[in-house]
A and B are shown apart, each in its own frame.
Chain A
Amino acid sequence: MEDYDIVLGARGDRRLMATDYIQRMIPDFMEFHGDRLYGDDRAVIAGIGTIGGLPVTVIGIEKGKTTAERIRRNFGSAHPEGYRKALRLMKQAAKFRRPVLCIVDTAGAFCGVDAEEHGQGRAIADNLWEMADLPTPILSLIIGEGGSGGALALCHSDRIWMLEDAYFSVVSPESCANILWKSTEKAAEAAKSLGLTAEKLHRAGLVDRICHGDERKKLAAEIAAELTRLRAVPQADLLEARYRRFRSVGC
């Protein structure tokens, strides 16, 4: 399969969405709303529950399945309010020493006048800033699209796992081709050059684990086991390892 086919597949509307994973893995999930500053962003689902018996705070980006649902979820593109809701609940998780699970599926942070004027850049920057020092384990699971800064805002984590057919990229292949070669027809070439597949990112050491389709049933148990292991790590060591993880990228 070509890399660009993986990108197109990751956008497919018949895939399992964040809510599906939450339903299957966290049956007692309770959703909490609002950023306590301005509003409630429906593109981001957040709350608490247990995964394999372990209490967790869950943050998911949801695209929606039906047209009405997709519109309500803004097609999975979060506003600053969504990132701030995520951050509010991540800080709460740290207070109760509860691990955080982020389920990422977004083409990118929303680009619009309101999003800009409410501080989209600042909201993402704040998440990176706080997650860098959040004293509780964080595991991010990319289930479909990992679109640029909007996905990264939920991936400053101890572990980044990706489904084998997901992608994570600095830019969409279409925009990349358009900016560099003034032609969206070269998107496939851009996709191949960007190194955005789970396999390539895992090989580069940027992603910790690839989750294969036939393991999906065991996923909850494995996430719970990994978060339990991370919870046993002394806080200072956990944060130092998180620092080193990103410190080593690129040079």
Chain B
Amino acid sequence: MKAIETDIVVVGAGPGGYAAAFYAADKGKKVIMVEKDKRLGGVCLNRGCIPSKAYLHAAKLIEEAKESSFRGVTFGQPKIDLEKMRAWKESILDKLAGGIESISKNRKVDVMYGRGYFEDSKTLRVETKEGQKFVKFSQAIIAVGSVPALPSAFDLGNPRIMTSDQALEVEDIPEDLLIVGGGYIGMEMGTVYKTLGSKIVVVEALDTILKGADPDLIRYVKNHADKVFKEVRLNTKVLKMSTSGKKIKVSMQVGDADPIEEKYDRVLVSVGRAPNSQDLGLENTQAEMDRKGFIQVNNRLQTKDPNIYAIGDVVGGAMLAHKASREARIAVDVICGDPNAFENVIVPAVVFTDPELAWCGLTEGEAKSKGITVEVSKFPWSASGRALSFDRPDGMTKLIVEPDTDRILGLGIVGVGAGDLISEGAFAIEMGATVRDIAETIHPHPTLSETIMEAAENFYGVATHTIGKKRDH
């Protein structure tokens, strides 16, 4: 069979893959993008960021309606039509995937549906509906992403034991839902299911949920979860799961106590994600993986194979869509011979719980563990007019600062809408900005963004709405 020739083949059409394909096409390369799913967009669009946020939006509506009664606005009990809700979600995904598809056409990126497999360092075999096709490429960019990890002990083949993939389909609303893993996916899905009516128990093996963020910020999320979930159990290990009629019997151990057994209607396992590097034919190339299966790359996203680049979740690091897209541009630049490397100072992270938690750069905890001296300036949202105007003073904005230079090293925000606020911190850090730069930038009133300015002013002890320590400036 005659091979199809191309400059670049991109394997996987997630936020890493399509960003790479489009940018490479813009730079004049002939690009083929291969996707095994029937819809473009990757995990992010189909089973990740977008559907989860769609549901979270619906959840927020329900919550706000409920909370409005004390403001004198009372709604009736919400009626939830799951089928309609799924259709609504699908319509969003179709719209977005269609967008990617039409942009592909516009930029003359050839989309090839089918599973890709490396025959060697120059050839990708694609199993399409019309049979096998062979793509001869100058360079390949692997962006095959990741899948939810399901430890074999939990993999009973019982559909009531779900990963995020199934949980986002919301087949029914389980009365009792156990969420194993208190990371961001578990906490977000818990927020959705709780609002739909489930009783949620979250178990987490570590001593904190949302590990990575600072405890003083996590506290707000935990407090809220403690209130609206049935329980958040820390230091707890799930030992075993078994099918028990229409339920799942779960045995777990809290701390050193004797194991307990409980029954749940459904279980969501959200204990991490595994790279999609298997069954890819990597062994036919020089590209190498680490023990966990993440493809090894340098900061130019080059694998050990000179023709092959890898980006996104499959290379590990922060497994986030925006990191994948950034890496996409760098890989393409490097391929085109334009100097570039992943030298971003930071990758911001957002947890879309209620309240939202977002941070970027250095955290206070990280500074402590690395022995880096920092100064911290906080602004509690209880002093924010905007936060009070919608009755959510449960928030905090926190700056991590390099002493002497006043350079901003980190920003952490917890509170409603934190995710939309964090970019100012990311921008400040990438710019090498100082606290004074933020303090002296006019922030519009009344907005939540003011909390960042006030935290900055607080650093110098001159915030308008709080009392802080005075310092030289």
Do A and B share a complex?
A: no
Which residue numbers of B lie inside 8 Å of A, CB to CB?
A: none
Which residue numbers of A lie inside 8 Å of B, CB to CB?
A: none
